Amino acid sequence: MAFIKREQYQYHALVLMMCFIMLSILTVRASSGEALYLSGCGWGLLIYVILRVMPAVRVPGRRWLHSTVLCYAASGAVCYLAICFIIGAFLKNLAASPYDGSVLGIFNNLVYILPALFATELVRAYTLGAVWRCCNRRTVMVVLITAALFLADLNYGRIVEIDDFQTGFIYAAQNIAPQLTQNILLSVLVFYGGAPAGIVYMGTVQLFQRLFPFLPSLPWIAQSAIGICFPLIYALIVYERCKVESGEVSVRRNEGTAGFTIVFLASVAFCWFCVGVFPVYPSVVLTGSMEPLIDPGDVVLIEKILEEQDISHLSKGDIINFKRDDITITHRINDVYCDEAGNLSFSTKGDNNDSADVQLVLPNDINGTVRKVIPKVGLPILVMKSSEEVPEGVVDDR
């Protein structure tokens, strides 16, 4: 009898996963309002089947641990949103929400988000509980379930439209990789805290993003770094804490949590550094206008000019980073001019260029001065950039 029951749980988990995949495809393709409501009804039916028709399956995590994991889920969502907003505020990249803020728009967003979210985490909890109860290779099955939920959530129509390496790399870093690490975090939360933990985490993030009137508009590098690092490191922290609190690992042996916390904070600081939150930030050089001092693929550390008086300290020979339309340029000051009113302007020239830049640089255009050159660190960015683009960091005027 136990064998038959075990077989039934495996069958139910497989059927649920197949239904989930079909509904995910329908939801991705739902562009009209009718299709959106139809997919919402499908998710609602799946929720009803899990809660009322199928035999109950408990997730592997201990019951008394669920409330603690629920708190981890809520605090994790708040931390993720706070990191995004802090970086967006520092970069002054807070923009109006792209989502419809009307009553009908909010209703449509709720129909699009909530049924799919509830159903996804209920399917995750049911399948995790079923395989942990019935299968011998439990860890492998947990990994496969997480991978299946991740693959079902991808927008394959968008992936098929990608026609070059650069666009594909950016899309993978900005969307695919964060979705994978997000599913890993959700599996950890649901494994120890049940479906409510996953619902609280994703519900908080998605509802805030859909309903808040303005959102951070981050560069893709910053967005991908946060989207990849935060869920992965937070999943490790939650995993270690749950093992300690459930008694699987002693407090003395639990040295990993402190290490993960340090790595997490270091990762956040690194993200802030890359996007320019701190007084010093990096910029990748993509051409040879400053050779031999700075080669293509080198990273230069730019110290921001924060006060007007710092402009007067600039002199001939300093290497500055400045704006020119929609690009940034890193060249050496060739000469300093001062008009009768005391206004400064700067003539610049690349060391490897035959002549000085035609246009003078005004104080408001200067981002900062080059303080350090790190060789070849930016080679991956150099490979990604096509030759037709105006390079970021350096322009060769020859």
Instruction: Write out the chain's pLDDT in tens, 398 residues.
Output: 344 455 577 777 888 888 888 888 777 665 555 666 777 788 889 999 999 888 888 888 888 889 999 999 999 999 999 888 887 777 677 788 888 778 888 888 888 889 989 999 999 999 998 888 777 778 888 899 999 999 988 888 788 888 877 678 778 888 899 999 999 999 999 999 999 999 999 999 999 988 888 888 877 777 888 888 889 889 988 988 888 887 765 554 445 555 556 666 666 666 666 656 677 878 878 778 888 888 887 888 888 887 777 888 888 889 998 888 778 888 999 899 888 888 889 999 888 888 888 888 888 888 888 888 888 766 666 555 544 454 444 444 43
Which domain range does residue 30 map to?
2-275
Whether 393 is in a domain gets the answer: no
Whether 262 is in a domain gets the answer: yes
Q: State phi, psi for 373 to the nearest 5 degrees.
A: -115, 125
Measure the CA angle with vertex 351, ends 348 and 355; round to 5°.
60
DSSP state of 59: -
Q: Are residues 320 and 172 in the same domain?
A: no
Q: State phi, psi for 44 to the nearest 5 degrees.
A: -65, -40
Whether 170 is in a domain gets the answer: yes
End position of a domain, from candidates 254, 275, 296? 275
Q: Are residues 240 and 325 in the same domain?
A: no
End position of a domain, from candidates 275, 297, 315? 275
Whether 62 is in a domain gets the answer: yes
Q: Are residues 187 and 284 in the same domain?
A: no
What is the per-residue pLDDT for 3?
40
Distance of alpha carbon 35 from alpha carbon 48, whole angstroms: 20
3-state SS class at 94? strand
Cβ proximity of 370 and 330 under 8 Å: yes
CATH number for the domain harbouring residue 373:
2.10.109.10
What is the per-residue pLDDT for 32?
52
Tokens standing for 19? Answer: 């239904």
Burial of 334 (0-12, 13-18, 19+ CB in 10 A): middle
Q: Are residues 91 and 198 in the same domain?
A: yes
Q: Are residues 239 and 368 in the same domain?
A: no
Whether 142 is in a domain gets the answer: yes
What is the per-residue pLDDT for 270?
67
Whether 390 is in a domain gets the answer: no
Question: Of 293, 297, 277, which is closest to residue 285 (Cα–Cα)?
Answer: 297
Instruction: Look up residue 337 and give its amino acid.
Output: Y
Whether 224 is in a domain gets the answer: yes
Q: Measured over all CA atoms, what is the biggest interatomic distance in the chain, rounded to whole angstroms? A: 97
Q: Are residues 169 and 297 in the same domain?
A: no
Q: Are residues 207 and 292 in the same domain?
A: no
Question: Of 99, 70, 97, 74, which is closest to residue 85 (Cα–Cα)?
Answer: 97
Q: Are residues 209 and 246 in the same domain?
A: yes
Q: Which residue has the tokens 């890193």?
A: 330
What are 331's strand-pairing partners? 320
Which pTM does this prediction carry? 0.70
Termini Cα distance of the chain: 82
What is the per-residue pLDDT for 78?
93
For 32, 106, 134, 157, 168, the CA distances from 28, given in Å and listed in that order, are 11, 19, 32, 9, 19
Q: Are residues 246 and 346 in the same domain?
A: no
Whether 397 is in a domain gets the answer: no
End position of a domain, from candidates 250, 275, 300? 275
Distance of alpha carbon 77 from alpha carbon 121, whole angstroms: 16
What is the per-residue pLDDT for 309?
77
Q: Are residues 229 and 114 in the same domain?
A: yes
What is the per-residue pLDDT for 30?
56
Q: Are residues 30 and 69 in the same domain?
A: yes
Q: What is the number of domains present in the chain?
A: 2
Angle between helices 195-211 and 103-134 (to 10 degrees): 160
Q: Are residues 285 and 271 in the same domain?
A: no
Instruction: Look up residue 345 and give its amino acid.
Output: S
